Amino acid sequence: MQNRQPGSEARSGKTFQDGNNPLTRAGRGDEPMQEVLISAIGAAQADLGTVQRYDSAEDCLRIVASCGFPDEALNVFRIVRRDTNSTCAATLRKRMRTVVGNIAASYLFVGTSELVALQEVGVAAAHSAPIIVDKGRLWGVLTVHFRQPWEDAEYDPAPMERVAVRFAERLKDRTSEQTFSDRDASRIAHSPVPTKTGPVMRSSAAPIPFAGSMLREHRHVCAFFCSADDEYNTLLPFVCDGLN
């Protein structure tokens, strides 16, 4: 992603037209979070985004701020449960970042109604980060969306996640989003975030020895098995590493 700017033009094809989205207008009490969200979109050089609050009673995510999405798209994702096909639902399940550079080719989305809804609004890639506050509690999920797909090597998730971490720090020991002030949002939004001056700026990652091999910058492990014995023999080195 070279010199991308937030709010870039949508891909060709059918997209929702810009609508009157109440979550992106003033007067809903979400202005501080809106400012943080815009900061995250800028840090990631993304195009759209959402902030979702975790509802522990219903075990779901609910949108509390958004940027760039029309009502039609928000209605699909206004309430996200664990079985929803989305990066935010995956982040809810595993409490870790979920980065998808091409939703059309991702196992999370292929053949789903969620893929159709995102493609209609022009979304091609997404990055969700958990917002973890006091004592490891999940407050919610911050997600930025891109109108163009990209390869993993083209995107550094660190700048956006620094915004998420600063957001979480301001939310610690607070009981609701209403206690999150305009001053808090301003501090987060105006904190320095590294800018990309070249094709990509990636955070350094030292190689990790694992199961007889070295896991370098792209740490993805995949295995296919033909039998139970094949599975056992393949996984045994990983089990031994874990025990050690």
Model confidence pLDDT, tens digit, residues 19-68: 334 333 322 336 788 889 999 999 999 999 999 999 999 999 999 999 99
Write the burial class of residue 215 (CB in 10 Å: 0-12 exposed, 13-18 middle, 19+ buried).
middle
Using 50, 70 and 90 to split pLDDT, how confident is the model at 5?
very low
Residue 141 near residue 186, CB atoms below 8 Å: no
Q: Where are the alpha helices (DSSP H) in 147-224?
A: 158-171, 182-189
Residue 32 near residue 184, CB atoms below 8 Å: yes
- Looking at the chain, the whole-number percentage of residues with pLDDT higher than 70 is 67
User: Is 0.75 topped by the overall pTM?
Assistant: no
Q: How far is residue 155's CA from residue 72's CA, in Å, rounded to a whole number?
A: 28
Using 50, 70 and 90 to split pLDDT, how confident is the model at 189?
low
Question: Higher confidence at residue 190 or residue 106?
Answer: 106
The per-residue pLDDT of the chain, averaged, comes to 76
- State whether residue 114 is helix, strand or coil: helix
